[in-house]
Amino acid sequence: MPIAVGQPAPDFTLKDQSQKEIKLSDFAGKRNVVLIFYPLDFSPICTNEHACFVNDMKQFEKLDAQVLGLSVDSVWAHKAFAEKMGISYPLLADFHPKGAVADKFGMYLSEKGITGRANRDHRQGRKDRLVQKLRYSRGAGHERSRAGASRCEIRLYFGEGNSRSKKE
């Protein structure tokens, strides 16, 4: 079950495509964090969604937000995907134990062995708790997924003490 508004954001440490360890709580009080949960590198829908984020990084920079992608792929798959897509933000490998971090957020699909695509967006506020839902949408004319959606779906977390907590 996904964590609800008002619940603490589970802390975690995972390696990114450069083998660097990234710890969620290291951002608390320093930067906003956008967690992108997605099933697999190189899948058509995930590729299109990451293209949204790559193309709109300036929007996240305005929010002083660090984007973090998270799936069950290995660091090596993430490295190849990041290079192909021009992704500069960390892609976190929830590889072993498979899906353990995504499961803390209610985003691991154990019957399929993949991370679910985030379908709710949250903003984290004081004391690292989820406080508000947001949706990041692309405008008309952008490539659509099989379901016809033209939005990138994310979970948006804001660390304690950050004053830039408005929707943009």
Kindly give the confidence (pLDDT) of every residue in the chain, 168 residues in length, as a single tens digit, with 9 standing for 90 and above: 677 766 778 899 999 999 999 999 898 888 888 888 889 999 888 888 888 889 888 888 888 888 899 999 999 999 999 999 999 999 999 999 999 999 998 889 999 999 887 633 334 443 454 444 444 433 333 333 333 333 444 444 444 433 333 333
**CATH for 24-157, options being 3.40.50.1820, 2.40.50.140, 3.40.30.10, 1.10.3210.10:** 3.40.30.10
Active site residue 52: no
Identify the active-site residue in 46, 63, 92, 107. 46
**For residue 8, what pLDDT is reported?**
76
**For residue 35, what pLDDT is reported?**
84
Long-range contacts for 139-147 (Cβ within 8 Å, ≥24 apart)? Answer: 142/52, 143/48, 143/51, 144/48, 145/45, 145/48, 145/49, 146/44, 146/45
Domain boundaries in the chain? Answer: 24-157
What pTM was computed for the model? 0.75
Distance of CA 135 to the CA centre of its chain: 13
Note the helical H segments in the chain.
Answer: 44-55, 57-62, 75-85, 100-104
**For residue 6, what pLDDT is reported?**
67
3 state DSSP class of 122? strand
